[in-house]
Each structure stands twice: as C-alpha cells, then as structure tokens.
C-alpha cells in the first residue's frame, strides 16, 4: 500500500512521533489513522520498557504557580541527559505534570508509595459498604478491587486521568514522553502548596 507524505505528516502532528516511525505505523495499519496511533502507542510502551532500567540522574525542578497566586507546585522530573532536560518537549512535559498536580491533588507518584495501612483501611471501608448494600459475598472482593482502582485514580499521580485529555492516564503521558524523547524519564517527587493549608 502506498502511504502519502500528507498521511505521514498528519500522524506526526497527532502523535509527535518521528517521520519514519509514523510511516512504519501507517504501513502496518494499512493507512488507518486510529490503528496507526495505537501501533505507535504500543511501540512507545516497548521503548519505554527497554529504557526503564537506565539511570535518570539529570532533569529539572519545575515550578508552577496557578493564576491568583494561591496555589503552587514544585515537581522534580528526571531524565538521562542535561541536553534532553533543556528541550522544549521536556519542559512542556514538566509543566503538564505540575498542572496535573495542581488540579488533581494526588498524594503520591506511584502506588508503591501509598502507606499499606491506608490502603487496607480503604479496602475495609469498601468491604463494609458493599456488605451494607446487600451485595452477595462472592462478588464483594471484585467490588472492593473496583473501588480501590477508583481510589488509586484519585490519589496516585500516574494512575490519574490526564487533565488535558481524559482518554490518557498520566502513565500514558509519561510513556509517550519516553518514546518521543528517547530517554528514561521519571517523575521523582512533587510538593503542592495551597495558601492557608
């Protein structure tokens, strides 16, 4: 199948991937734009997995002050080289993460950082709620796990839906950034300050 330069350009603008990657994705998906985007996302996941072991000692601390000067966020985002840390793409990624923290108020970056006693307390609350709703014993665990997933989406940064695109989670945004910039990128930590809190 012949892939036009226009199709490649359109996919490149949509995905931010390289031209050759876009062409390959379009060839693999017979010119179907949605399938090509899905192909690129899968490739991004594979690339991200390969890069995850590489050390990320460079990066930036990005500050975001919400209009009105009553809410501020600091995020530390790490990458492998100072060169990537200075790129516009990296800066924009850091800004998106800082705005996410400002808007969605997560407690931690990833699930493993949550206090296990807090998670157990949440599970117990959901179990009690499900029993109180008269749910059968055999489905209680499924209900508890489903509600726990929703809880993670509220309090874990990587599990939150991205504020600018609800079809993406923050972990997808991170994976896309790794694929686009070609380096291991880590959201190390954040601090959120609200006036009076």
Domains and CATH numbers, the chain: 5-51 (1.10.8.10), 58-109+156-194 (3.30.479.20), 115-154 (1.10.286.20)
| DSSP track, 55-116 | ---EEEEEEEE-TTSSEEEEEEEEES-HHHHTSHHHHHHHHHHHHHHHHH--SBSSGGGS-H
Q: Tens of pLDDT along the chain (197 residues)? A: 677 877 777 777 666 666 677 777 778 888 887 787 777 776 665 455 555 555 667 899 999 999 999 999 999 999 988 899 999 999 999 999 999 999 999 999 999 999 999 999 999 998 888 888 888 888 888 888 999 999 999 999 999 999 999 889 999 999 889 888 888 899 999 999 998 88
What are the phi and psi torsion angles at 135 (to 5°)?
Answer: -70, 145
pTM of the model: 0.70
């Amino acid at each position: 199948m012949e892939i036009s330069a226009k199709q490649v350009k359109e996919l490149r603008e949509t995905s931010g991937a390289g031209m050759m990657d876009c062409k390959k994705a379009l060839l693999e998906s017979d010119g179907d734009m949605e399938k090509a985007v899905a192909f690129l996302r899968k490739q991004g996941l594979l690339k991200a997995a390969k890069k995850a072991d590489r050390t990320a000692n460079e990066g930036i601390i990005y500050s975001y002050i919400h209009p009105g000067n009553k809410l501020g966020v600091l995020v530390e985002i790490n990458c492998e080289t100072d060169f990537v840390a200075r790129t516009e793409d990296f800066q924009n990624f850091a800004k998106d993460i800082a705005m996410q923290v400002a808007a969605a108020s997560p407690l931690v970056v990833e699930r493993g950082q949550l206090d296990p006693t807090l998670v157990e307390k949440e599970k117990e609350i959901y179990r009690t709620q499900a029993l109180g709703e008269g749910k059968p014993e055999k489905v209680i665990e499924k209900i508890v796990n489903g509600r726990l997933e929703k809880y993670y989406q509220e309090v874990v940064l990587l599990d939150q839906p991205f504020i600018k695109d609800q079809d993406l989670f923050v972990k997808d945004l991170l994976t896309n950034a790794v694929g686009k910039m070609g380096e291991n990128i880590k959201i190390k930590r954040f601090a959120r300050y609200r006036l009076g809190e």
